[in-house]
Amino acid sequence: MGASSDPNQDGSDEQQKRSEIYTYEAPWHIYAMNWSVRRDKKYRLAIASLLEQYPNRVEIVQLDDSNGEIRSDPNLSFEHPYPPTKAIFIPDKDCHRPDLLATSSDFLRVWRIADTDAESSPRAVELKSLLNGNKNSEYCGPLTSFDWNEAEPRRIGTSSIDTTCTIWDIEKETVDTQLIAHDKEVYDIAWGGVGVFASVSADGSVRVFDLRDKEHSTIIYESSEPDTPLVRLGWNKQDPRYMATIIMDSAKVVVLDIRFPTLPVVELQRHQASVNAIAWAPHSSCHICTAGDDSQALIWDLSSMGQPVEGGLDPILAYTAGAEIEQLQWSSSQPDWVAIAFSTKLQILRV
């Protein structure tokens, strides 16, 4: 992942002049973070605060390639109720759709970004939709996570501590499906195709759902110790046979092959403290990045998956940050770049 290139080195090579690491310091602790995928908005990310109060903040920041600075646009910074548990830009590489950002906290919110300098409409972010799946009660079970369906971008799936997953049609602003997914809180959700999603829960299971048969789900994995919550789920977009999950307060990452339920295909065990985030490579079926409380971001090559490796698999790249890494995102439109968040810092790293 490399360190910053030394500016005093007399290298005319363009590659050498470019830094490998760019850092942005936010005015608050960062939790939610996501890369924009639009082709016309390179190096743009959303970051959100983790403040123990009702008003929180979201900023949209962008790397200025000419001077190496990541800057926040004050016109595109906005207040957010509660800390967002996740933020995702619309999966629209070709810019056919409005420029949208979704966030989850008490409800699912979709924000429209006016990021042009047209005189008619100043640059700003406005709330487009507030989506509440609990119409019958004042109380809402907070949303732990959500995922935006790349194959069908009108669909967003949310997971909640009230044991449900909800599939929204964000164009109609209506619930497509709401189902009780687990016996306990659902902590994460990931799409694996147009009508297929998976979720992980405090009940310790990974379950796969097909919207064509909502009555049934397939349990792909259950944690070996009872009452061990699974907190994160990553579905490999390049090879949907594989997914990865994190066990709460555990330093290992469990990689699963959905064709062989219940038995992990490999366990990644080189972190020295709890793992907080996982991201499959957007351009390669056998690479995954993991990050955790040991301040490490590790990239693994899983091409030998399924063959026993003496002493377990080692990562091929390691980067040490300045504090516990809580968030990790691999850019799908610029796969050379991984973003991590730790404390008040956002870093983008060339891999």
Q: What is the DSSP string of 13-82?
A: -HHHHS-SEEEEE-SS-EEEEEE---TTSTTEEEEEE--SSSEEEEEEEEEETTTTEEEE-GGG-EEEES
Give residue for tokens 């009702």.
54
pLDDT of residue 336: 96
Question: Exposed, middle or buried, 270 (CB in 10 Å: 0-12/13-18/19+)?
Answer: middle
Domain boundaries, the chain: 85-329
Name the pTM for this structure: 0.93
Look at residue 13 in the predicted model and tell me its pLDDT. 45
In this prediction, residue 19 has a pLDDT band, given cuts at 50, 70 and 90, of confident
Look at residue 306 and tell me whether its pLDDT is greater than 90.
no
CA 138/CA 246 separation, integer angstroms? 32
Confidence of residue 6 (pLDDT cuts 50, 70, 90): very low
Which residue has tokens 């983008």?
348
> Which CA distances in Å does 128 have to 38, 57, 61, 98, 115?
19, 17, 20, 11, 15
In this prediction, residues 262-276 reach a mean pLDDT of 95
List the beta bridge partners of residue 278.
290
- The CATH code belonging to domain 85-329 is 2.130.10.10
**Ramachandran category for residue 343: left, alpha or beta (phi over 0 → left; psi -120 to 50 → alpha):** left
Contact 265, 254 (CB under 8 A): no
Mean pLDDT confidence for 40-61: 97
First to last CA, the chain: 5
Torsion of CA 147, 148, 152, 154, to 10 degrees: 120
Decide if pLDDT at 213 tops 50. yes
pLDDT classification of 138: cutoffs 50, 70, 90: low
Contact in structure between 328 and 338 (CB atoms under 8 Å): yes
Q: Output the pLDDT for position 137.
A: 63
Q: What is the C-alpha separation between 345 and 226, in angstroms, rounded?
A: 36
What would the pLDDT profile of 162-177 be if each residue is shown by its tens digit?
A: 999 999 999 999 999 9
Q: Which residue did the predictor score with more confidence, 224 or 289?
A: 289
148-164 pLDDT tens trace: 999 999 999 999 999 99
User: What is the Cα–Cα distance from 143 to 304, expressed in whole angstroms?
Assistant: 36
